[in-house]
Amino acid sequence: MRSSFLKRRIRHKSNDGTKAKALPTAFTIIGAAVLLTACGNLDSERTVKQTQQLTNDVLEDSEAAEGSKSGEATKTAEGSKSGEATKTAEGSKSGEATKTAENSKSGEETKATEDSHSGEDTESGNKHNTNGVDNSNPDSNINENTVKADDVPEGKVTAFGDKSTMNNTVGERELPIYCVDTTENKVALSFDAAWGAEDTKEILDILKKHDIHVTFFATGGWVESYPDDVKAVLDAGHDLGNHSENHKNMSELSDEDKKEELMSVHRKVKELTGYDMYLFRPPYGDYDNSVINVAKDCGYYAIQWSVDSLDWQNKGVDSIIDTVINHKNLGNGSIILCHNGADYTASALDELITKLEEAGYEIVPVSELIYADNFYLNYEGRQFSSF
């Protein structure tokens, strides 16, 4: 099973490489240079050779992402048959294959900043903005989450903001948020849920022990298969994000199908919990301009990652901890990618959290890191406040 998915990932990588060559040379070099300067080189093993060393660094990140696709997609297939949703191989900026190749500078998947990006959500000037939400269309993410004001941490985004003030455009590409610009020592920890749920309770218990909240991105299959876990995630105060209905490569779908992949899960979660999701992570980290725009039209922030734990490679507890703690892109505003259902993630989580805290980082959910609106992105996908 893993072998077939691995071949599929390699194929996608070639496609990305081909598309990347179609981008203007000047744009590719400039993008890669900015990425290198702002967020650091990307980690993935990439086979696509570029004439520019800067571009090679960006390609590394994309490779990791594709590797993630491979590892996650494998369990995904198996999970899908067993009632589990396709595993989010989206695997990582550092490891997720981002078709962002079309969408980003290095000419290759700009998973590019996967290793940085971090920040706080600011609602049009401050945070918690609910402007720009279209309540007339049931298929638009209406994000009117009923959260008591006293229960909302300062700076937390609780709904989709004012789309007219959001600028995801960089050159000719539309980018998701890879990390956020912030002076605060905050990082967001996220888990893609598409494989299984055997370790979900253990993960939630560890997070409770450390009194921290994180973000879970769930597929439609996972929501259907593990409704109690979905409720447990929300009841514990964590973010619940959308990871698509069937964990497909979103850039290969029509706009209509893209929307359905998003809204199908949205409706399931709304019916099950009454909660309106507003955070979306593309499967495999795969996106193009249309994916970002459709997500925004549906009331979703597209979220990537800047640090991939590579837990989907199942290399052991120490590997996960070392990969994150020693990651070249770990810093203020980083978004860290993990997966529930991976073999060693739950076992590594307690020590990983401890080491991050010892390094001076406050762990927060994505909703407490990003800006709600009035923002723009740079070539690496780092989110900046417009103020």
Q: Among this protein's residues, is 339 annotated catalytic?
A: yes
Domain count for the chain: 1
> 324-351 as b/e, with b when 16 or more CB fall inside 10 Å?
bbebebbbbbbbbbbbbbbbbbbbbbbe
pLDDT at 40: 37
pLDDT at 151: 63
Residue span of the structural domain in which 134 resides: 1-387
pLDDT at 195: 86
Residues of the chain where predicted confidence (pLDDT) is lower than 50: 1-149
pLDDT at 340: 93
How many Cα atoms are found within 13 Å in the side-chain-facing hemisphere of 327?
36
For residue 134, the tally of other CB atoms under 10 A from its CB is 15
How many helices (H) and strands (E) the chain has is answered by 10, 14
Enter the DSSP assignment of 140: S
**Cβ-Cβ contacts under 8 Å for 18 (sequence gap 6 or more):** none
In the set 192, 239, 276, 297, the catalytic residue is 192
**Cβ-Cβ contacts under 8 Å for 97 (sequence gap 6 or more):** 9, 12, 13, 16, 62, 65, 66, 68, 69, 89, 90, 91, 109, 111, 284, 285, 286
Record the pTM: 0.67
CA atoms of 76 and 1, how far apart (whole Å):
10
pLDDT at 153: 77
Token pair of 145 as six digits:
């989450």
Long-range pairs for 202-207 at CB < 8 Å and ≥24 separation? 202/346, 203/340, 203/345, 203/346, 203/349, 204/232, 204/233, 204/236, 204/238, 206/346, 206/349, 206/350, 206/353, 207/236, 207/238, 207/349, 207/353
pLDDT, tens digit (0-9, with 9 covering 90-100), for 174-232 = 999 999 999 999 999 999 999 899 999 999 999 999 999 999 999 999 999 999 999 99
pLDDT, tens digit (0-9, with 9 covering 90-100), for 256-272 = 999 999 999 999 999 99
Q: What is the CATH number of the domain that holds 297?
A: 3.20.20.370
Q: Among this protein's residues, is 128 annotated catalytic?
A: no
Give one word for 117, left, alpha or beta, with left for phi > 0 and alpha for psi -120 to 50. left
Angle value at C-alpha 313, between 310 and 317, nearest 5 degrees: 75
